[in-house]
Amino acid sequence: MIQFGISTLLLAVLAQGWNIIGGYTGYASFGNSVFYGLGSYGVGIAMVSLHLPFAVGMALGVALAVIFALCLGLPVLRLKGHYFAIATLALAQIMAAIVSNIGIAGQNIGLVLPPLNDDPLFYELSLILLVLATLTVWWLTRSRFGFGLIAIRENEEGAVVMGVDTTRYKIMAFTLAGIFSALAGGIHAYWITFLDPESAFDITLNVKMIIMAVFGGPGTVLGPIVGSFILSAISEILSSEVTSIAGLFFGVVIVVAVTLMPRGLADVLRRFRKLGWRYFI
């Protein structure tokens, strides 16, 4: 149960991170798994290759994520809609290929981290990180920066006219999302003690965080958390009871969510009393 809790909390952190760039800014990023992988490799390189403590590895992972976000954010965030989504989709594959050829990162073989059999510690770290991510999203709903992101989501041209520095705001949101994804990746890498390019930069992880955020309610404070908890629990039950159906689960969820409740559970709970079943129509 503790291990299931760790996985669920880390997925909730990733969903909250995506919520900043996807839910509040309106840019559907498929590149957050790159930040996750950079955070994982920051910890792996620091602990295995440089023989440094875990905390230094976390800091290294965050630094790599920030540098990546700043360098790639400026050209990529000039794209919009499906062009932006396709561009970010390619980033994970490119980064996996690069890491596979770096000796200090273990190349294709990967890295084996020193084991630490302390699941309660990783649970507490994951919970603290989720609380920090949620408080950050809550702050967005009450800050000038958050209002600027919402303005970009609703009408980017109008936001420019109103004086919002859209380029700077988008890069800041991209970087902030990257920091939380990198921290989640660092915790997960030390927890499972093994790291390779394919698993670290897995695009399916990015799909999961998007589905969870969309299912719970993008652009809300608690929606991504609710979506992560519900879908993780159902997926775990299906994986243990009906293995053949588990692989289809997230595909069905995204079709249902986009078709019947595109604004997520949070919006359903808010408006269902007034509209009833007409809401889904």
Task: Per residue of the chain (281 residues), give pLDDT as tens.
Answer: 999 999 999 999 999 999 999 999 999 888 899 999 999 999 999 999 999 999 999 999 999 999 999 988 888 888 887 888 888 888 888 898 999 988 898 888 889 999 888 999 999 999 999 999 999 999 999 999 999 999 999 999 999 998 899 999 999 999 999 999 999 999 999 999 999 998 899 888 998 899 899 888 899 999 999 999 998 888 888 777 666 666 677 777 778 777 777 778 877 877 777 888 777 77
Predicted confidence at residue 247, as pLDDT, reads 66
Predicted confidence at residue 18, as pLDDT, reads 96
Question: Per the domain annotation, does 260 fall within a domain?
Answer: no
The vertex-81 CA angle with 221 and 225, nearest 5°, equals: 20
Question: Per the domain annotation, does 277 fall within a domain?
Answer: no
CA 166, 171, 177, 179 torsion: positive or negative?
A: negative
Other beta carbons less than 10 A from residue 181's beta carbon: 36
Question: Per the domain annotation, does 14 fall within a domain?
Answer: yes
- What is the extent of the structural domain holding 118? 1-202
Q: What is the DSSP letter of 25?
A: S
Question: Per the domain annotation, does 241 fall within a domain?
Answer: no
Question: Per the domain annotation, does 45 fall within a domain?
Answer: yes
Question: Per the domain annotation, does 271 fall within a domain?
Answer: no
Instruction: Write b or e for each residue in 208-239: b if 16 or more Cβ atoms lie within 10 A of its Cβ, otherwise e.
Output: bbbbbbbbbbbbbbebbbbbbbbbbeebeebe
Question: Per the domain annotation, does 70 fall within a domain?
Answer: yes
Helices (H) and strands (E) in the chain, counts: 13, 2
Other beta carbons less than 10 A from residue 242's beta carbon: 10
Predicted confidence at residue 24, as pLDDT, reads 94
Question: Per the domain annotation, does 272 fall within a domain?
Answer: no
| Number of domains present in the structure of the chain | 1
Q: What is the DSSP letter of 111?
A: E
* Residue 10 C-beta-side C-alpha neighbours within 13 Å: 27
